[in-house]
Amino acid sequence: MTKQVKKGKTVKKMVKKVKASKTLMASQTREKKKTPAMPKVRGTPWKTDKWFVSPWNYEPEVLKQFKFPPAKDIKIHDITLRDGEQQAGIAYTREDKLRIAKALADAGVHRIETGMPAVSKEDEDAIKEIVQANFGPEVFAFSRCMVSDVKLAKECGVKGVVVEIPSSEHIIKHAYGWELKKAVDLSIEATLLCKELGLYTVWFPIDASRADLNWFLDLIEEIATKGHMDALAVVDTFGGISPHAVPYLIKKVRERVKKPLEPHFHDDFGMGVANTLIALACGCTVAHTTVTGIGERAGNAAMEELVLALLTMYGIDIGIKTEQFYSLSKLVRELSHTTIPSNRPIVGETLLNVESGIVASWVRRCRAENPLELGPFLPSLVGQKPVEIVMGKSSGIDCVAEWLERINADASLEQREAIVQKVKQASIAKKGLLNEEEFRKIYESVVHG
Ligand SMILES: [Zn+2]
């Protein structure tokens, strides 16, 4: 009896298994039909003569998640001169703005948001001069949803305007003290004027990512139908959206508004670049970024990081001259009187210094023939100076070998080991790196002392 029951169960299980495998096969066939052609990966895009990133980035299972637009349609809308200047303490002169605009143009940025003409006469003049200079990129201005602001932008001669309005109920009520209807009415009036004046109109709803979803979706649909927009900025004013929520936001917005979308993500949680990448991978076309991520509070998505990630990790070249990144960042830092951590990605001042004895050994072995064993990209790809072996607490025997060559000196193995020990002590006492003179003194004391 027991056996029979067991047997019965086994048969049932087998039937179930066969059914399950048939269902699986059927679903696989269906999926096969549904799955679009996989992007073709030619060669080894993860390893070129300029970079070496993870090959996992290019696995078919990874690639099938993306819906990036063609590279020619992805554009950088630089906001260094507007959102960047809103970082507390930054105040550009007219000349500063011109110099930065020229450098952005030289780097191949597609669009420059030059500022809000209503802020000062200096800003208005700077915007006009950048328009007249005709450096190459499209020139945009930033305006509130006010008739006077839009008219002023038009007088500056810009091609387009980013028009802002608060879009979360709480910000409208609490921060502006408005009735909700006012935000709607002002947006319709201002955007229709933009259209009438022939300005490319990017409607910019502040704090969209913290708005009630349905209220926000109704709002954008109303402005898109009763007002006007050529593109809609997807705005995460306070950096509070998670990377996993971005595709959902984009999808819901797309269901209501059939316009190009421009991700504008802040970096309060360090997600600005990741969120922008994901938005592009969802089909958005114009990324709002600043040089080295300057901007209000924690700043905006950093252009250098976004562009280099697109190029190396996703194989998407949007035509930006990455070799200009270091000098562009340095110029913006100088003119904005800002500093960055010395190990900041791509543009940090000590990014390519090597102190560790172990890594110094790699450098000495690899720098001539296999430089990409030392980092994910060549320093020259981003305009950085070459890798340099420095002398400090973590230094080892190969660091000493390097510096002995530098000062054109020699020492026995025993002496070199003694030098390493003295270097470590001196570095701890100094709480920093040693300079050449300090190293030379240690060398003299060991070899000739
Ligand atoms: Zn912003």
pLDDT band of 174, cuts 50, 70, 90 = confident
Q: How remote is the CA of residue 323 from the centroid of ligand 1, in Å? A: 26
Q: What is the pLDDT at residue 336?
A: 97
Q: How remote is the CA of residue 266 from the centroid of ligand 1, in Å? A: 6
At 184, the amino acid letter reads V
Q: Which two tokens stand for residue 412?
A: 């026995």
Query: Would you say residue 160 has pLDDT above 90?
Result: yes
Query: Would you say residue 21 has pLDDT above 70?
Result: no
Q: What is the pLDDT at residue 170?
A: 86
Q: How remote is the CA of residue 206 from the centroid of ligand 1, in Å? A: 8
pLDDT digits (tens, 9 = 90+) for 276-304: 999 999 999 999 999 999 999 999 999 99
Q: What is the largest CA-CA distance in the chain?
A: 97
Signed CA dihedral, 169, 174, 179, 184: sign only: negative
> Using only C-alpha atoms, what is the Rg of the chain?
28
Percent of the chain at pLDDT > 90 equals 86
Q: What is the pLDDT at residue 1?
A: 38
Q: What is the pLDDT at residue 3?
A: 42
Q: How remote is the CA of residue 296 from the centroid of ligand 1, in Å? A: 7
pLDDT digits (tens, 9 = 90+) for 344-375: 999 999 999 999 999 999 999 999 999 999 99
Minimum mean pLDDT among 13-27, 67-81, 233-247: which range? Answer: 13-27
Q: How remote is the CA of residue 314 from the centroid of ligand 1, in Å? A: 26
Which of 48, 71, 56 is closest to 376 using CA atoms?
Answer: 48
Q: For 36, which DSSP code?
A: P
Q: How remote is the CA of residue 141 from the centroid of ligand 1, in Å? A: 14
Q: How far is CA 283 from CA 37, 260, 262, 277, in A?
A: 17, 9, 10, 10
Burial annotation 253-280 (CB, 10 A radius, 16+ → b, else e): beebbebbbbbbbbbbbebbbbbbbbbb
Q: What is the pLDDT at residue 166?
A: 86
Q: How remote is the CA of residue 76 from the centroid of ligand 1, in Å? A: 15
Q: How remote is the CA of residue 1 from the centroid of ligand 1, in Å? A: 75
pLDDT band of 449, cuts 50, 70, 90 = confident
Q: How far is CA 320 from CA 51, 131, 279, 292, 312, in A?
A: 16, 21, 19, 15, 13
Minimum mean pLDDT among 1-5, 222-226, 317-321: which range? Answer: 1-5
Q: How remote is the CA of residue 99 from the centroid of ligand 1, in Å? A: 22
Q: How remote is the CA of residue 332 from the centroid of ligand 1, in Å? A: 18
Query: Would you say residue 17 has pLDDT above 60?
Result: no
Pairing of strands 200-206, 231-236: parallel
Q: How remote is the CA of residue 237 from the centroid of ligand 1, in Å? A: 5
Percent of the chain at pLDDT > 70 equals 91
Q: How remote is the CA of residue 343 from the centroid of ligand 1, in Å? A: 25
Q: How remote is the CA of residue 238 from the centroid of ligand 1, in Å? A: 8
Which of 401, 312, 252 is closest to 232 using CA atoms?
Answer: 252
Minimum mean pLDDT among 28-37, 152-161, 386-395: which range? Answer: 28-37
Q: What is the pLDDT at residue 39?
A: 59
- 22 burial class (0-12, 13-18, 19+ CB within 10 angstroms)? exposed
pLDDT mean over 158-162:
98
Nearest 10 degrees: CA dihedral of 202, 205, 206, 212? Answer: -160
H runs (alpha helix) in 296-396: 303-313, 325-336, 357-366
The domain segmentation of the chain, as residue ranges, is 63-336, 353-447
Q: How remote is the CA of residue 360 from the centroid of ligand 1, in Å? A: 41
Query: Would you say residue 11 has pLDDT above 70?
Result: no
Q: How remote is the CA of residue 265 from the centroid of ligand 1, in Å? A: 7
Q: How remote is the CA of residue 418 from the centroid of ligand 1, in Å? A: 55
Q: What is the pLDDT at residue 133?
A: 98
Q: How remote is the CA of residue 83 from the centroid of ligand 1, in Å? A: 5
Q: How far is CA 263 from CA 5, 37, 235, 447, in A?
A: 62, 27, 6, 61
pLDDT mean over 426-443:
98
Q: What is the pLDDT at residue 18?
A: 45
Superfamily of domain 63-336 in CATH is Aldolase class I (3.20.20.70)
Q: For 65, which DSSP code?
A: T
Q: How far is CA 328 from CA 100, 120, 234, 316, 321, in A?
A: 8, 25, 27, 21, 11
Mean pLDDT of the chain: 91
Query: Would you say residue 13 has pLDDT above 60?
Result: no
Which of 159, 158, 165 is closest to 117 using CA atoms?
Answer: 158
Query: Would you say residue 147 has pLDDT above 80?
Result: yes
Q: How remote is the CA of residue 203 from the centroid of ligand 1, in Å? A: 13
Query: Would you say residue 34 has pLDDT above 60?
Result: no
- Measure the CA–CA gap between 40 and 114, rounded to whole angstroms: 39
Whether residue 300 contacts residue 267, with contact meaning beta carbons closer than 8 Å, is answered with: yes
At 22, the amino acid letter reads K
Place of tokens 């948001």: 113
End-to-end CA distance of the chain: 97
- Measure the CA–CA gap between 141 and 85, rounded to whole angstroms: 13
Query: Would you say residue 234 has pLDDT above 80?
Result: yes
Q: How remote is the CA of residue 171 from the centroid of ligand 1, in Å? A: 15
Q: What is the pLDDT at residue 175?
A: 86
Q: Which two tokens stand for residue 98?
A: 């011109």
Q: Which two tokens stand for residue 400?
A: 């000493």
At 198, the amino acid letter reads G
Q: How remote is the CA of residue 410 from the centroid of ligand 1, in Å? A: 56
Q: How remote is the CA of residue 300 from the centroid of ligand 1, in Å? A: 7
Query: Would you say residue 181 has pLDDT above 70?
Result: yes
pLDDT mean over 108-114:
98
